[in-house]
Structure 1
Amino acid sequence: MTVKHLLVDYNKVNERGTFSPGDTLSGRVTVVTSGETKVQCFLIKAKGKAKVTWHEKEGQATGTHRDKKKYFYFEHIVIQDKNKGDGSEIIRSGKNVYPFTFVIPNTDMPSSYEGKWGKITYSVRAQLTQSIWLFHKTKTEFPFLTKSEFPFASRSDMIIIGLKEKQYATRISFHGSAKVAMNATSEKLGVKQGEAMAVSVEVLNDSARTVTPTFYLCEKQTFVAQSKRTVHTSETLFGTGDPIAAETSQSITKVLSIPTQLHPTFFNCRMMKLEYRLKVSLDVPRDSEIKLPLVILLGSPKPHQQKPKRSIWFQNLPG
């Protein structure tokens, strides 16, 4: 175990810390050894892939559904034993640094994402093989950002959708002879990460009880594998409006701030997609709610907090 330290690192290309199609990914692999080390093979790899996996009951058994897609794969051989396995190549003692450079293909690929049952990852890895039973691996993921301005629709769809258009919906509920009517309006369909959006609610409360509007952000993750489909949904409470007394009507405007950490809406991966809705509900005996479509857009660039790299230190085994 002369290999004590193995680390892969990359250079940032912009203030956001992300990479996109056509960018050059460059960096270095650092190997620290306590003595001369015989090596069969030393590889550096760059990979982009999407993968989904989930389990579900199918009668008395549990079925597993999975799928994966590779967007690109590059491999650079740093050292390869010319004698095919006798460990004749040598890494000298101490700190050794090996640079690498890969050009990411200039094709449409989805941004990095991790959902309930699937993820899209981009990484650079290093593998140093000393023998069939002794090898060392390390990797670090780099954040990838699609070049598509609208990764959820084609250009023609965008004209129809109209991101700046207001969204309207109406709901009328009857409780015995009483009626509760609600109109909800959001000022636009497309909202950037970290941006604020006004939502207006008009409530006609002809019932004998006070009602209160509540605002939620609904997230829907869809995963597809082997012609099967599964959905994971969640809701985040945005806040509540003022109570509306019995037999009165009132208009309420709530300003909602989109969290900066929300992943933008996307459809440009065949195995998964991410959608959002804005839900407004009233606390009446039978739930009365309205859902308005919402598209989360990429916000302004912010420095990326790089994940800690998988720096591996090796120790001699006792005995």
Structure 2
Amino acid sequence: MLQQTVKNFNINFNVLNNRNTFSSGDPMTGHISFELTKETKITSITMALTGKAKVHWSTGGGGRERRRRHYSAKLDFFNLKSVIVQGNSATGGTATFQPGTHVYPFTCQLPQGDFPSAFRGVHGQIAYTLTVGINRPWHMSKDFVTELNFVNHTDTNQPELRAPLSGSNNMTLCCLWCASGPITMTVSVEKKAFIPGETVKIICYFRNASSQRATPKVRLQQKQVFYTHNKAHKRMIFKSFASVTGQLVSAHTSDVHTVIMLTIPLSASLSISNCSIMDVEYFIEVSLSVTASPDLTVLFPIILCDTPVNTHPPPYL
């Protein structure tokens, strides 16, 4: 069998950056290596570079009156094929490979285009793969697949990504016919765009004129939205990535100033807004919790991108 004939197959890339990522238009170079345990006839060694997205979810089920319904959609961004090794036409299109280690270089280029970043979600994924196939006469092709860490470059020169965000909210606690003093909060975030691993500085001003203590909390929320074609149907999933609890705000206090630092996990995927069947959005949720009352909340939509965004505009040249 081919699994016994071919051993230690590896696809090795010449990395372009310290994050080992690829983007639209990037060159891809490297080499493949494998060992053969015996003399083997091979017709060709091929390479396929693909980018695609797919979503699927179902609803209903559990009884005769509720039939299960399935929803799905697929997109193909590109599918490029090339040949690394071609068999000898003089020998019927095959070449004889001796036992031992074999190494072959490869080179190709990712196509230009506004392709979304790679992503794996609850009901779908966006995947970019390099597949190397070893083809033998009278045998099925044996494919070796490697997923690429593909990122979509964000234009960080957009002024709205550098601008600070701010918001406020207030509420009054009620107990039967009594009403306490209002609780108010004003919150600001230094900018809109961040990279995974970056720490967000949230500046908070609280005024608690009530008789209850309030607990501030900051959360990073991710929203995944999956669509069928033409967005006729959709499925929405929320996921909490990180949270930090601040110091208690005592009753009957005013002008309380606090700074809460929230680190975005390195595992967080990038925002996606350029795929017709999938969106990935992020929100920073700042809330004040009071016993037996709804939370007082301010939401900030943010963007996770691959390039750091400076909060100050670039110098005029």
Is the TM value for this pair above 0.5? Answer: yes
Q: How do residues 52-131 of structure 1 correspond to structure 2 at under 5 angstroms?
A: 52-57=55-60, 60-79=66-85, 88-131=94-137
Q: CA deviation at 1:46?
A: 1.2
Letter in 1 for 2:58: H
Kept in 2: contact 1:244–1:250 (CA 8 A):
no
Partner of residue 187, structure 1: 189
Partner of residue 315, structure 2: none
- Once the two structures are superposed, residues 230-256 of structure 1 have per-residue CA deviations (whole angstroms, 9 ceiling, x without a partner) of 111022453222223334335232232
Q: CA deviation at 1:89?
A: 3.3
Q: How do residues 281-296 of structure 1 correspond to structure 2 at under 5 angstroms?
A: 281-296=288-303
Which of 208, 222, 239 is matched with 2:225 structurally? 222
CA distance in 2, matches of 1:4, 1:214: 53
- Once the two structures are superposed, residues 276-295 of structure 1 have per-residue CA deviations (whole angstroms, 9 ceiling, x without a partner) of 22221323312122132231
- Once the two structures are superposed, residues 69-94 of structure 1 have per-residue CA deviations (whole angstroms, 9 ceiling, x without a partner) of 222211112345678xx884322321
Kept in 2: contact 1:181–1:203 (CA 8 A):
yes
CA distance in 1, matches of 2:213, 2:152: 47
Q: Against the structure 1 CA distance between its residues 240 and 211, is the aligned structure 2 distance closer, same or farther, given a 3 Å change threshold?
A: same
Structure 1 segments of 4 or more deviating over 6 A?
A: none
Which of 239, 247, 251 is matched with 1:246 structurally? 251
Q: In the alignment, is residue 298 of structure 1 matched against residue 297 of structure 2? A: no
TM-score by length of 2: 0.81
Q: CA deviation at 1:132?
A: 5.1
Q: CA deviation at 1:141?
A: 1.6
Q: Which gives a bigger RCO, structure 1 or 2 (Cα 8 Å, sep 6+)?
A: 1
Partner of residue 205, structure 1: 209
Partner of residue 260, structure 2: 255
Q: Against the structure 1 CA distance between its residues 5 and 16, is the aligned structure 2 distance closer, same or farther, given a 3 Å change threshold?
A: closer
TM-score by length of 1: 0.80
CA distance in 2, matches of 1:275, 1:246: 35
- CA-atom RMSD in angstroms: 2.8
Identity of aligned residues (%): 22
Kept in 2: contact 1:8–1:124 (CA 8 A):
no
Q: Against the structure 1 CA distance between its residues 148 and 242, is the aligned structure 2 distance closer, same or farther, given a 3 Å change threshold?
A: closer
CA distance in 2, matches of 1:283, 1:234: 23
Kept in 2: contact 1:191–1:294 (CA 8 A):
no
Letter in 2 for 1:165: P
Kept in 2: contact 1:195–1:257 (CA 8 A):
yes
Q: Against the structure 1 CA distance between its residues 111 and 68, is the aligned structure 2 distance closer, same or farther, given a 3 Å change threshold?
A: same
CA distance in 1, matches of 2:212, 2:25: 60
